[in-house]
Structure 1
Amino acid sequence: MRFLLLSLLCLVPGLARAQAEELENPGTVSAVQDRLFRMQHELSLGVGVLPADAYYKGLIGTVGYAYHFSDTLAWQVARGTYSYNVQTSLRRQLERDFDASPVSAAFQNQVQWMVGSDLMWSPLYGKTSLLNTNVIHFEVFLLAGGTVVKVDRSDGFRPAVNLGLGVRVFSSKNVSFRLDVTNNTVFMGASDITNVPTLQIGTAFNFGATE
């Protein structure tokens, strides 16, 4: 009996200490805040460049429409891009000093316009503070789709696969701003593949969604 009482007296401080630790550390509680801005019908207008070709640089304008099924998945139903092309100094030098023909095959891959459609997946949405004064809501999205590209060649309609990455910054429930970096892999022929990267900024107008 005496041994049992001594054992209980030894256990009491340990039990009290465990209860105190439970009160001090009730456990980890995690909460995910609902996103503030949602989208449904998106009309986008953008400007940008085709920077990669050595013989020309394209100044582009793009208009597009996207339908958002959910916060993470959307279909960019249609996008159209027109390119105003400016010859580079390299091309002018080749034509001037080496009598390169303006209609040579090397110069016939200039993009005139593109039309296409993409799936958009937005796996990342968040918010951050700018200089501890403003809260910025943003999302990161991926693009994958197909494009028809019109180049300078007389038979210049070419298919392409479009892949890209974008960032959207929300201004309000109706307006957001996009940065799109994409690459169209254009199939010029049986063994001729050309990459047409684009860098574009734009404004998107959202209709039909709620905060």
Structure 2
Amino acid sequence: MRYVLLVLLSLVPGLALAQAEALENPGTVSAVQDRLYRLNHELTLGVGALPADAFYKGYFAALGYTYHFSDSFAWQVGRGAYSYNVDTGLRRQLERDFGVAPTANAFEDEVQWMVGSDVVWSPFYGKTAFLNSRVLHFEAFVLAGATVFKLNRDNGFRPAANIGLGLRLFTSQHLSFRLDVTNNVLFAGASRIVNVPTLQLATAFNFGATE
């Protein structure tokens, strides 16, 4: 009994110290700050490029409308773009030095215009300091949908499945800038599949949402 009492007495100071520390530091509390900017009706005006084809490069102007159901999910109801195409040096060399006709099959997949629709998921939202002088708010998103392309061949309407990534930088409640990088898997017919990547930088106008 004597030894038991000695052990219990030696433990009392330690228990008292642990209780005091628990009262001083009850635990770590984490808080997630709500986002400052929200979106509702979004109108986008953009410019972009079709950089992948070896025989031409396309430069397009784009218009789109997106409805945001929540902070995370949205439907890009409609988007459309018209492309101005420029021949590459490789195509000019083939036509000049080897007499390849402009109507050759290799040249018949130029995109003239495109329209489509996408589902948008925005799982990431954050803010960062720029040069310790300004706080920048941004979000990252993924999108997936469908596109119809008009090619330069006769009746050249072709469907495509679209998937991509995007980044948005907010400047105010009503204005933001977004970068979209997508790839369209175009079904060109005759069991032939063509990848049509797009790069687009757009100004987005937001209506109907509050901070």
Aligned counterparts of 1:2 and 1:20: Cα–Cα separation in 2: 28
The amino acid across from 1:127 in the alignment is K
* Paired position in structure 1 for 2:21: 21
The amino acid across from 2:104 in the alignment is S
* Paired position in structure 1 for 2:76: 76
* Paired position in structure 1 for 2:10: 10
Q: How many residues align?
A: 211
SS at match of 1:9: helix
* 1:16 Cα deviation after fit: 1.6
Aligned counterparts of 2:124 and 2:56: Cα–Cα separation in 1: 35
The amino acid across from 1:175 in the alignment is L
Aligned counterparts of 1:177 and 1:137: Cα–Cα separation in 2: 11
Correspondence 1:50-129 to 2 at 5 A: 50-129=50-129
SS at match of 1:27: coil
Q: Which runs of 5+ in 2 are unaligned?
A: none
Aligned counterparts of 1:158 and 1:10: Cα–Cα separation in 2: 83
Deviations 1:3-36 (Å, cap 9, x if unpaired)?
6654442222111221133134321111011100
- Please give the TM-score of this superposition, normalised by the length of structure 1: 0.96
- Please give the TM-score of this superposition, normalised by the length of structure 2: 0.96
The amino acid across from 2:190 in the alignment is A
* Paired position in structure 2 for 1:157: 157
Range that drifts further, 17-26 or 187-196? 17-26
Aligned counterparts of 2:147 and 2:2: Cα–Cα separation in 1: 88
Range that drifts further, 1-10 or 21-30? 1-10
Deviations 1:85-136 (Å, cap 9, x if unpaired)?
0000100000000000000110010000000000000010000110111000
Aligned counterparts of 1:26 and 1:127: Cα–Cα separation in 2: 29
Range that drifts further, 85-94 or 189-198? 189-198
Aligned counterparts of 2:8 and 2:117: Cα–Cα separation in 1: 75
* Paired position in structure 1 for 2:142: 142
